[in-house]
Amino acid sequence: MTNVIEDPETGASYGGEAVLRAAKALDCFTREAPRRTLLDLTRETGVPRDTLRGILNTLVARGMLRVDADETYQLGFAWLQLAFLRRQQMQARDVALPIMRGLVDKLGETVILSTRVGDQRVHIEYVESPQPVRRLAQIGNGGPLHVGAAGMALLASLPRTERDDYLARVAADASAVRDALSHVQREGFAMAVGSVNPETAAVARGFHTKAGECFAVTVSCPTERFTKSLETSCIGAVKTAVQRLELILGAGQ
Amino acid sequence: MSEKIVRIVDRAATIMAAFGASSVSLSLPDLSARAGLAKPTAFRLATVLVRLGWLEQQAGTGAYTLGNAALHHAHTLLGAIPMRGVLRPVMETLRDEINETVVLSLRDGDFRYNIDSVESRHTIGQTQQIGVAIPLYAGAASRVLLAAQPNNAVQAYLARTDIRAYTGATLTQEAVLLQELRSIRETGVAVSAGEFTSGAHAVAALFRQGDETAALHFSIPAGRFSPELAERCKSALLAAAQALHA
């Protein structure tokens, strides 16, 4: 696909490349590094400085970046507005929330809904356990797809070509991940007990919507509460919950 | 400093801004009209945005909705705001106590931004203006943040700012504003009624943590607002601020 976009009406041509570069610059901001200078961004994106400055100016003008007097950039507040709208507008979230609340009522543990964004699994909604010590969740929290119950459940649900592409690009030990994924597919759920975080246990299952989006529902709790009995209940309850979601949202319609 | 704008990036931002409370999904003709692009051009741009996760395209209708990339950037952004982490449990406690929506806002330059909110459990409520630039003179939370500034900064702000009404209720007279700021500094709280968005009342207070300041306000639809509720909100906010600053 060419990145030059030509407008047949005006004859002007636009570099779609600039949008890709803008996105690349935005991805340079992380929780660990929320403030970046023009120099940082130039180095990390590989985009020539003057070109990048124009792109960054545009993002600042539209509230997607902020800049201070010494050309240090931060993410802009427009993303908060867009995220807020996105959350309000997600249809899958509306359907999933009551079902997630039902799961929390039944199991007493935190339930998280996640989806894939690029190469990450991202938490997009959650209902927390009422217990004082519980798994905490954060909207937008991201992690690699091949780590943890939610990510593995998503990875197992992806179309084969997308999964293979991801593993080829990202997973250091692709064959170990593949073995684990076969297990997830056979069992119908993914589980991680103290493997990602020693304090956390999680059970997850993925599903598709009619629109082709992939989600995972995860129950997660402190490892010391994850008894054999809870494990069995979680597996059963998550499977049932996802079946209901598939019925309402799913490709089987 | 060069203020050159890269047009295609600007148009991508315009497409994103086209989605709002009433525009959940937009067709290609909608997008091309909003972005000022011919349909094939808009289609190619939208395709890039779908690839980036900025937009999603619905399989059946081909219509576009906002994508999930915004969730990720918002999460990164919020992670760099310590006040948000500090105040989130305070907001939840306040919401549990009063059962009205609590909003956290910060000052950035000459504007206030609502950063985060904890919703009331009522079925009727005001949609919050999250991430939108709000002038520092309009509304209780704005004035709380303005009042926290030293006097010379306040005077300089008023001198360079064109104070205009957003609704019939916006306070625009400088003398009245200055009186209001004095009152906020004395009492620690501010109240306003529908100054930025009609229909919602606000009761606000300042919260500090080291060098950082933020405003928390209750956002209450006019139908549920009363002087008694305002007093309860003020007490709750002041108590929470005191507990934090202790």
Shortest CA gap B147–chain A (Å): 22
Q: What is the pTM of this model?
A: 0.71
Measuring CA to CA, which residue among B174, B185, B190 is closest to residue B234? B190
- Give me the pLDDT at residue B237, please: 98
**Residue B177 to residue B147: CA distance in whole angstroms:** 10
| A89-249, CATH topology level | Beta-Lactamase (3.30.450)
Contact A250, A207 (CB under 8 A): yes
**Residue B116 to residue B103: CA distance in whole angstroms:** 6
Percent of chain A with pLDDT over 90: 65
- Give me the pLDDT at residue A172, please: 80
Which of B34, B73, B126 should one mutate to test binding to chain A, selecting the residue with the greatest count of A CBs within 10 A? B73
Average pLDDT of span B104-123: 89
- Give me the pLDDT at residue A155, please: 94
Closest residue to A81, CB basis, from B41, B52, B131: B131
For residue A233, is pLDDT > 50?
Answer: yes
Closest residue to A54, CB basis, from B6, B53, B127: B6
Measuring CA to CA, which residue among A208, A192, A211, A209 is closest to residue A200? A192
* pLDDT tens digit sequence for B188-233: 999 998 777 777 899 999 999 988 999 999 999 988 999 999 999 9
Query: Is the sign of the CA dihedral B180, B89, B109, B66 positive or negative?
Result: negative
Closest residue to A58, CB basis, from B5, B56, B114: B5
Report residue B126 as tokens. Answer: 């005001």
The rounded Cα A123 to chain-centroid distance in angstroms is: 5
Q: Which residues of A touch B80 (CB under 8 A)?
A: 31, 34-35, 74-75
For residue A252, is pLDDT > 50?
Answer: no
For residue B1, is pLDDT > 80?
Answer: no
The half-sphere exposure of B71 on its side-chain side, counting CA atoms within 13 A, is: 26
**Residue B179 to residue A91: CA distance in whole angstroms:** 47
Please tell me the least confidently modeled range out of B98-102, B129-133, B155-159: B129-133
Helix ranges (H only) for chain A are: 16-26, 38-45, 49-61, 78-89, 91-107, 149-157, 160-170, 174-187, 228-249
Contact B216, B94 (CB under 8 A): yes
Contact B37, A7 (CB under 8 A): yes
- Is the CB of residue A75 less than 8 Å away from at least one CB of chain B? yes
* pLDDT tens digit sequence for A51-104: 999 999 999 999 999 999 888 999 999 999 998 888 777 778 888 999 999 999
For residue A253, is pLDDT > 50?
Answer: no
Measuring CA to CA, which residue among A126, A79, A165 is closest to residue B73? A79
Confidence of residue B123 (pLDDT cuts 50, 70, 90): low
Q: Which residues of B touch A12 (CB under 8 A)?
A: 7
Partner-chain contact B48 A20, CB within 8 Å: yes
CA dist B72 → A36, B17, B43, B135 (Å): 17, 17, 24, 27
Which of A13, A14, A115 should one mutate to test binding to chain B, selecting the residue with the greatest count of B CBs within 10 A? A14
* pLDDT tens digit sequence for A168-220: 988 788 899 999 999 999 999 999 999 888 999 999 999 987 767 789 999 99
Q: Which domains does chain B have, with CATH numbers?
A: 7-67 (1.10.10.10), 81-245 (3.30.450.40)
Contact A219, A226 (CB under 8 A): no
Q: Which residues of A touch B127 (CB under 8 A)?
A: 88
Partner-chain contact A85 B20, CB within 8 Å: yes
Which residues of chain A form CATH 1.10.10.10? 4-78
Q: What is the DSSP letter of B129?
A: -
- Give me the pLDDT at residue A224, please: 93
Q: What is the DSSP letter of B210?
A: T
Q: Which residues of A touch B66 (CB under 8 A)?
A: 82, 85-86, 89
Q: What is the dihedral of CA A183, A185, A191, A192, to 10 degrees?
A: 60
Confidence of residue B58 (pLDDT cuts 50, 70, 90): confident
Partner-chain contact A89 B66, CB within 8 Å: yes
Q: Which residue has the tokens 């059946």?
A: B60
Q: Which residues of A touch B72 (CB under 8 A)?
A: 117, 120, 122, 140, 142
What is the assigned CATH class of domain A4-78?
Answer: mainly alpha
- Give me the pLDDT at residue A7, please: 56
Confidence of residue B2 (pLDDT cuts 50, 70, 90): very low
Contact A238, A103 (CB under 8 A): yes
CA dist A111 → A99, A205, B74, B103 (Å): 10, 12, 21, 25
Sequence-ordered strand ranges (E) for chain B: 55-57, 64-66, 101-108, 111-118, 133-135, 189-193, 200-209, 212-221
Give exposure, B62-85, as e/b (b: 16+ Cβ within 10 Å). Answer: eebbbbbbbbbbbbbbbbbbebbe
The half-sphere exposure of B20 on its side-chain side, counting CA atoms within 13 A, is: 7
Q: Does B19 or B187 have the greater pLDDT score?
A: B187
**SS3 category, A201:** strand
H-helix or E-strand spanning residue A125 = strand A120-127
- Average pLDDT across chain B, whole number: 89
How large is the ipTM?
0.87
**Residue B38 to residue B33: CA distance in whole angstroms:** 8
C-alpha angle with apex A23: A18 to A27, nearest 5 degrees?
Answer: 145
Which of A1, A5, A94 should one mutate to test binding to chain B, selecting the residue with the greatest count of B CBs within 10 A? A5
Which residues of chain A form CATH 3.30.450.40? 89-249
